[in-house]
Amino acid sequence: MTEGTLVAWKKKKGDQVSAGEVLAEIETDKATMEWESPEDGTLTEIYIQEGGKVNVGDRIAFIGGEDEEAPKEEEKEKEKEEKEEKPKAKEEEKKEEKPKKAEQPKEETPTTEEKEEKKAARPKAEKKAEAEKPSPKIEKVEEARVKASPVARRVAAELGVDLSSVNGTGPEGRITETDVRAAAKSKPAPPATQVPAAVKAGESARIQLSGMRKIIAQRLVESLGPVPHFYLNIDIDAAPLMEAREELKSAGEGADTAKITVNDFVLKAAVQAAVKVPRVNASFDGDALVQYADIDLGIAVAIEDGLLTPVIRAAQNKSLREISELAKDLAHRARNKRMKPEEFQGGTFTVSNLGGMGIDSFSAIINPPQGFILAVGRITKVPAVDDGDQIIVGHRMSLTMSCDHRVIDGALGAEYLKELRHLLENPALLLV
């Protein structure tokens, strides 16, 4: 992350705030995060308004103590200039002593002038502050007009709803997603002009990349170029897996086990196989291989603008039901961009499943620095030969393991897939 968008302020200028209290929501390329106050005090100044871009390290607000005012902009700039000039002057002094003596008067003169300028700037800044006193009223009107949740803003943009015309039913009149959808229904259907002309059939267009698409493009180039991929594929007998799923489903809709899916079995098996073959749970690091103690399982989740890989930490210590619950929760929050950065960073390997979208098999690209990624296809009906040499209707699932050859050799990858096949064709082992 290098920049974000300040979506909403939860506090306004002049409010008292406490350490840990949510002050604002900032939307990054992957999630909308809450920014908390680092200390107690008064929100004296707001530098970035709602909808503004924020780079990492930028000031967005000033929290002062009792009777403490925000620093004047002119003084800040001059302090920075002085700090930058001092190291340069020291370097010049070290290089040559004679030029140093000649340059000293030149360096002293601006310093004294700067001091005089600072004194002169203070009354000017005070006058500016007095002139700006009515501005808080304007800010309050703008804040009231745009007080809406991030989801409500996105839905409003999609449906072409003007937020200023929507009455909020949330806390303090905050506009919610429900308010926006209700307003959209009460209005006539949005005109055709709401759809960008660039997407009309038969026309070409240059579509600007979103922040997420930029990151995806960057990561894929970093992976497929430098990382030497090779691929191993197996087809497993998925009939036992489907039978186990049906048995759990027969427990009733209210039972927790009824919510366990085939994909949950695959996730659990991928983790257990890595426990049995720990050398695959590793990454390449320059002149060494890093083998991880914990299995931090990444789950590829398709969202509207790209892809996220939320992570289940220490998955080897979690049961099938726990993995199922965590996977659903993370996927839901990923699609709504309500995740913290630490929840989608640092997995040791990833599972990507396109079976639900009708894909028979595919090869996925490794998410560096992970050692491999497992691609899961759909379960298909095929002719199969049973133990009595009779042709029956069989159920097969395709699994493709994309490996970083610097970390995993063919034999090691084959060993992992052999263990994975054994677990998926004997799903009772995953219930222990």
Active-site annotation holds for 332: no
- From CA 425, how far away is CA 238, in angstroms rounded? 7
Q: Which amino acid is at 115?
A: K
Q: Is 225 helix (H, G, I), strand (E, B) or coil?
A: coil
Q: Are 71 and 62 in contact (CB under 8 A)?
A: yes
- From CA 147, how far away is CA 170, in angstroms rounded? 10
Strand spans (E) along 368-414: 372-385, 391-404
- From CA 354, how far away is CA 302, in angstroms rounded? 10
Active-site annotation holds for 409: yes
**Could you tell me which of 203, 165, 211 has the C-alpha nearest to residue 184?**
165
Here the tokens at position 196 are: 């960008």
Q: Is 234 helix (H, G, I), strand (E, B) or coil?
A: strand
Measured CA distances, 228 to 132, 224, 366, 403, 406 (Å): 60, 7, 10, 8, 7
Catalytic residue among 237, 305, 395, 405: 405
Catalytic residue among 40, 256, 285, 409: 409
Catalytic residue positions?
405, 409
